[in-house]
Structure 1
Amino acid sequence: MYLLLVVVVYLIFAKIFIDWKRWKEFYPTVQFYIICNLSYNFIFYNHTLWVYKAVTLDWLNHTLIDLTFTFLIVPVVIMIFLQYYPKGKKQILYIFVWVVYFSSIEWLFVKKGLFIFANGWNIWWSVIFNIITFIIVRIHYRNIKLAFAVAIPIIAILLLFFHPSINDLK
C-alpha cells in the first residue's frame, strides 16, 4: 500500500513538475543512475547495506520495491532535480534541500519498518551517500567522464568501509 502511494505521488510530481519536451536531455543521467543502482543490487545481492521491506503484502519484496524505485521514482526525481537546478550560490542550498528531503523520507521509512539498515549502514551514512549522489548526478549531467572519474574512487572508498567477503558475492 505504501509503495502504491509513493508511486502515485511521484507520477503526480512527474505530471506537474517535469517538462517532458526535455526528457532526452536528462536520459543519459537517468541511465547512469539506473545502471549504478542495478549494479549495486547485483554485486551485493547477499550483502546489502539496506533492504526495502513491505509490511502490507507478503509477495512484495526488496527486489520488486527496488525495481519500482529504480525505474519509476528515481527517473522522476533526477529529471526534477536537474530541470530546476539553479545557478550561482543557490546550488549548495538546492542540493542541501534535496538531501534533507531524501534523508527525511528514508528516516520515516525506517521508523515505519519499510527500510532496514544492514551491515554497518545507518542514517548518517545515507545522508553522506545522498550528498554524494546528488553531486554526482549533477556532475554527470554536465560532464559524463568527470562523473565516472569522481564516482569510481568514491565506490572504492565505500567498499573499504562496507566490503563484503568474496563468499558473499554471487
Structure 2
Amino acid sequence: MHFALALLVAIIVWRKGVWREWSKYHTTMMFFAVGNVTYNFLTANYFLWKMKPDFFPNHSITEMIYSFITFPSTALLFLSAYPESDTFKAVIHHVKWILIYVLIEWFFTTNDRMIYQHGWNLWWSAAFDVTMFPILRLHHKRPILTYGISVVLCVFWIWMFDVPVNVPIEQRHG
C-alpha cells in the first residue's frame, strides 16, 4: 500500500504537469522531507506512529520513500494549486488536503499498514495536519519564520508525548 501511494502521487504529479514547477517549490519540498527524517531520527526508539512495511523490506526504506517521494510530491501538489488571491478558496484548499491526509491515514490504520503508540491516534494526526499544511504554505512564503515556528511545534510534540530524546546513544542501540 505504501508503494502504491508513492506511485499514485508520482503519477498525479506527472499527469498534472506540476513536476515542471519543482524548482519553484524545491525548498519547501525538502523542508517536508527533512521534517520526516527528523521525526524518524528523534523517535527512533519511541515512534508515535509507524508505517508497517509491505512492498519495501523494512520500516526505514518505507520512511525513505515517504521522505523523498510521497511527502515532497504532495507538497508540490499542495503548493502548485494554492489559490493565491482568494482566502475562502485557500481555506477550502487546506481543508481538502487535511482530509486527504486523514483519510489515507485512516485507511492505513484500518488495514494494519500503520500503527500508533504512546498515546498517538488519528485525532492527533488530524491536529498535526491542521498545523502542517499552513506551515508548508508559510515556509514557501517566509522560510526563516517557519523554522522558528517549527522548532516550537517540535518541542511541543516532544513534550506532549514525553519523547525521550535525551537517552544516551549507548542505551538506544543496546
Same fold (TM over 0.5): yes
Aligned length: 167
Q: Provide the rounded CA distance (Å) in 2 between the counterparts of 1:4 and 1:22.
A: 24
Structure 1 residue runs of 4 or more that deviate by more than 6 Å after TM superposition: none
Which residue pairs with 2:44 in the alignment? Answer: 45
Query: What runs of 5+ residues in structure 2 fail to find an aligned partner?
Result: none
Name 1:92's counterpart in structure 2: 91
Is contact 1:103-1:126 (8 Å) kept?
Answer: yes
Equivalent residue letter for 1:38: V
Question: Which residue is equivalent to 1:124?
Answer: 123
SS at structure 1 position matched to 2:115: strand
Residue 19 (structure 1) shift: 2.6
* Matched residue, 1:68: 65
**Residue 146 of structure 2 corresponds to which residue in structure 1?**
147
SS at match of 2:167: helix
Q: TM-score, normalised by structure 2?
A: 0.89
What do residues 46-97 of structure 1 show as CA deviations (whole Å, max 9, x unaligned)?
A: 0111111135x6x622111111111111111011100000132211111011
- Aligned with 1:116: secondary structure? strand
Partner in structure 1 of residue 15 of structure 2: 16
8 Å Cα contact 1:18/1:80 also seen in 2 = no
Shift of 1:167: 2.8
TM-score, normalization: structure 1?
0.91
**Whole-angstrom distance in 2 between the partners of 1:109 and 1:28:** 28
Match of 1:82 in 2: 79
Question: 2:116 is aligned with what amino acid?
Answer: F
Per the alignment, residue 25 of structure 1 pairs with: 24
SS in 1 for 2:29: helix
The 8 Å contact of residues 46 and 168 in structure 1, kept in 2 or not, is answered as: no
Query: In the alignment, which residue of structure 1 is the partner of 2:163?
Result: 164
Distance in 2 (alpha carbons) for counterparts of 1:149 and 1:163: 21
Offset of residue 4 of structure 1: 2.9
Aligned partners of 2:53, 2:4: CA distance in 1, in Å?
A: 13
Q: Find the residue that maps to 2:163 and give its secondary structure.
A: coil
What's the C-alpha RMSD, in Å, of the aligned pairs?
1.7
Cα deviation 1:136-170 (Å, max 9, x = unaligned):
00000001011112212111211111122333864
- Quote the Cα distance in structure 1 between the aligned partners of 2:50 and 2:42: 14
Amino acid at match of 2:29: V
The structure, 1 or 2, with the larger RCO (C-alpha pairs under 8 Å, 6+ apart) is: 1
